[in-house]
Structure 1
Amino acid sequence: MYEHHSAYHRLRVVDNDGVRTLIFEHNHQSSMHLDDPFESDIEYVGYLHLTLAVKPDAARTLVLGLGGGSVVKRMWRDYPQMRLDVIELDPEVVAIARAFFELPDDPRITVIVEEGRSFVRRAAGPYDIIIVDAFDDDRIPRPLTTEEFLRECRDLLAPGGVIAYNVIGSVRGDDSKPFRSLHRTASNVWRKVWTFTVGSADGSLEHTGNLVMLATDAEVTEDALLERIAVRVGGLVTVPAFERFGDDLYRGSLRTGDVPLITDPPRSGRRERR
């Protein structure tokens, strides 16, 4: 339907069986039902609404990474009190989201073309929710995973605020080290870190797929979080099957002794911590 080589990606928009998909290189980034632009076939999108179980009164959200706008559109529709600042590096992605994926042109959505780290460094908080959903091919850009960046994000969060990461990885097995390293780094910044293995309540924890990681200093216990999920945060969240997402909370041990903290490149005379 549409193809373009931007400065960052080969971008394609494809329609198939009533679903429109945005593809970066070979990876499906966003999808939209043609008969309902707020519905997506990409499962992790709904899991990012778990942030509302931590911060139900969220009024200001920062999203790093736009794609086709699946996350932004649904939050804009479902939470009329919420304003969203959206940071996207590639201007062509913004143009595609508007032209092909019905990204609303609305005062509650501000889209800024900029590298995510540079925006965070200059941003004026506070934000109730920060979502990191940015990818370079199938990996989060390293500058958006370091301890220094996470501390910059923590400084932007309101009291009780929460950051969410969409990660492609696993919690066990050969491909788990990048995620376990991110988890270790986040645990060095926030008191609580929860991981949801998207669609993996069946126990396939070595399978590489989407993981949604929440990190917060909010005064909410794990049991309270699960109770809120089970009742859709008092009916606030309308994402299909949301009440079952708690089944995907990973409660096992996560080895981190064999993975490093992720830090910014060392300056002269400074060594990376391990």
Structure 2
Amino acid sequence: MAPRRKKIYEGKAKILYEGPEPGTLVQYFKDDATAFNAQKKATIEGKGVLNNRLSEYFMTGLTNIGVPTHFIKRLNMREQLIRQVEIVPLEVIVRNFAAGSIAKRLGLEEGSPLPRPIVEYSYKNDDLGDPLVPEEYIIAFGWANQQDLDDIVALALRVNDFLTGVFYGVGIKLIDFKIEIGRVWDGDFMRLIVADEISPDSCRLWDMKTGQKLDKDVFRRDLGNLTDAYTEVAKRLGVLPTNTQPIKPTLIN
């Protein structure tokens, strides 16, 4: 029997295990869905499989246009091999249309276009509810320096251009998304690369014609079956594992 893999980290939607080579990890996608900082939880059959496939699709596409990512290859239905990175403790949020917290904060109508893509940051800390932080805080507390932030904005906007185009091509409007950024060292030289995942868990996606939500808001706001929404995204992009049957979610407390 193979020895048990060493678990490095478990988050709300993924588990990281020690990888086969130094400097690599295995990222496992769970079926768990959480919202409102894990106050609402469910296990949603097939979600992990879909997100693994979708994240592979987006990360591969980014690599092809020269945006560096942590993705190496998909290993199976639920796992992918990734580069081990030092995660910058920020969620980098790119907004194209007003929705969620920015709509509330500024009294904007959900879905109204923003004058230009807005990049903002939240400090990765579940206990604090991932508070929004200005650049001033980020630099003062040493989470990233000014050069890093310039590089992060450039990466985020390139990801936005790529994703906006891909989704537009299949009739989906990219409202907003979040990414995480990792540092990798090549000798003495440090580079910033896109890490974590890109999936409907981390984007807001609306159907262009109907405005139907095809992302985690379906779960947050009880708008139907989350697997169906993610399956629809995967189908349109032509990335569907054959044996994913939509199954009713089972709620757990």
Q: TM-score, normalised by structure 2?
A: 0.29
Q: TM-score, normalised by structure 1?
A: 0.28
Query: Larger % of strand: which?
Result: 2
Q: Highest relative contact order (Cα 8 Å, sep 6+), 1 or 2?
A: 2
